[in-house]
Structure 1
């Protein structure tokens, strides 16, 4: 139940903020009662809420504003990479085999990572909607959307993936988890916050785009050089979507669309190594 309430909170965060925050509070209480989070996580969330309140309440005091933002970003990164204790994330799939050519796949419902958009929104009110850093023509948008299947096909030709159709029984759970607990959290951190802040600091939308994509690719180091390369290219696609629109949900939708297409039409998460 806590996961569904949290998902509803995330889904309404852009359009109905007070409702979203109320749902977030209910989801935290439900998670505490059901053992999804324990007292160290509750202490952390209380600290984050207090810091966010100070950041918003005293936004006119520069030193306090900057200090609180730094603390909140550190907390968001910690939640993102699961370093804080007290979160008992649900392992929904354990080494599931999607298809004959696919490697085993494990999927978690991560309560901590899903909180990242809330934390970053307290740092940057324009996290979800901002002025486009650049504009693009209809042709450029068409090429951007076309680049999603092209990237997956190139990854297949490079040997990292293989063509394989899937329609797993757990597809609805994957959609919920990947859209709201994975894609939204990753795009909030990398495009909504980091790329936007780098653009403000550096005054160069393209430099901000490249640096953010490189960091996003580097996050996938555990998958090896090929995954780093393709994650970086995917980061450029998501970053362009944000840069041209200023809308975080568009970048999230493209990110999720790539992940869903990957699951439905290609080996997932990667192609099984022969002899493995």
Structure 2
């Protein structure tokens, strides 16, 4: 089922009809396997009705109100506030290394719906032609910024260099691409940053989207908020320079993968000193 959901997201940009059909089949399987209960199915049916109304109405006021509803639904899905989604826990309390804090990982059905919802609001969610001219050094600087940011986290005491070769690397990459990064980039870069850029200076839009992205990580403490905000600047610049959502997703997944393979993940857990 999860591979089918990932496939539906992969083809969403290129063929919406096939992608929606795949999503419907996935939802049916999800209902059968009890990943989705009646509340999630009812919510998804409601989204379909709102989407149909949004496409049908031509007036600015009703479309704006419906778009607000769709964006609020996306935020609810992102934050796992919508009941009825029983996401699969793939990892529970695992440690990437001896000095890494334990963590759990899920395949998120609710979060995976976010790109579908936002594409209804903004047809240019995945690609836009409004991007500045770029030079090779722009991209080189952006690539270098990824390890630099991780080393800054080390200097601040949040991480420590620790090499890993986890057996669950494939599951981690699959979850990060389709059930985490794509949804987050769709909301914060593809939709929010793009919408803000149409009414204000693109740099200001980049800063606001990055700050909101950092604020979403408040549960992890102030250091994680700062780290996520700076990471959001990297992802936002990747979107701004390329005009392609998948490029921002690539940087997002790349940073998370570098974090996992070369540093304590998700953070450094200081062990008590035993004398």
1:1-276 equivalence runs, <5 A:
2-58=1-57, 60-202=58-200, 204-275=201-272
Contact 1:97 1:104 in 2 (8 A): yes
| Counterpart secondary structure, 2:35 | coil
Shift of the alpha carbon at 1:254?
0.3
Structure 1 window deviating more from structure 2 (48-57 vs 109-118): it is 48-57
CA offsets 1:110-155 (integer angstroms, 9 cap, x no match): 1101100000000100000012343332211210111011111111
The TM-score, its normalising length taken from structure 1, stands at 0.96
Shift of the alpha carbon at 1:275?
2.6
Measure the CA separation in 2 of the matches of 1:106 and 1:42: 26
After superposition, the CA RMSD in angstroms is 1.2
- In structure 1, stretches of 5+ residues that fail to align are none
Measure the CA separation in 1 of the matches of 2:269 and 2:88: 25
Contact 2:218 2:224 in 1 (8 A): yes
Measure the CA separation in 2 of the matches of 1:42 and 1:128: 26
Measure the CA separation in 2 of the matches of 1:53 and 1:130: 24
Measure the CA separation in 1 of the matches of 2:99 and 2:267: 9
| Counterpart secondary structure, 1:176 | helix
Measure the CA separation in 2 of the matches of 1:175 and 1:165: 17
Measure the CA separation in 2 of the matches of 1:193 and 1:275: 44
Measure the CA separation in 2 of the matches of 1:214 and 1:258: 18
The TM-score, its normalising length taken from structure 2, stands at 0.97
| Counterpart secondary structure, 2:199 | helix
Measure the CA separation in 1 of the matches of 2:21 and 2:165: 35
Aligned length: 273
Contact 2:99 2:271 in 1 (8 A): no
Measure the CA separation in 2 of the matches of 1:19 and 1:84: 26
| Counterpart secondary structure, 2:165 | coil
Contact 1:87 1:111 in 2 (8 A): yes
CA offsets 1:181-232 (integer angstroms, 9 cap, x no match): 0000000000000000111122x10000000101111111111111111111
Contact 1:55 1:68 in 2 (8 A): yes
Shift of the alpha carbon at 1:244?
1.1
Contact 2:210 2:229 in 1 (8 A): yes
Which runs of structure 1 show a deviation greater than 3 angstroms over 4 or more consecutive aligned residues? none
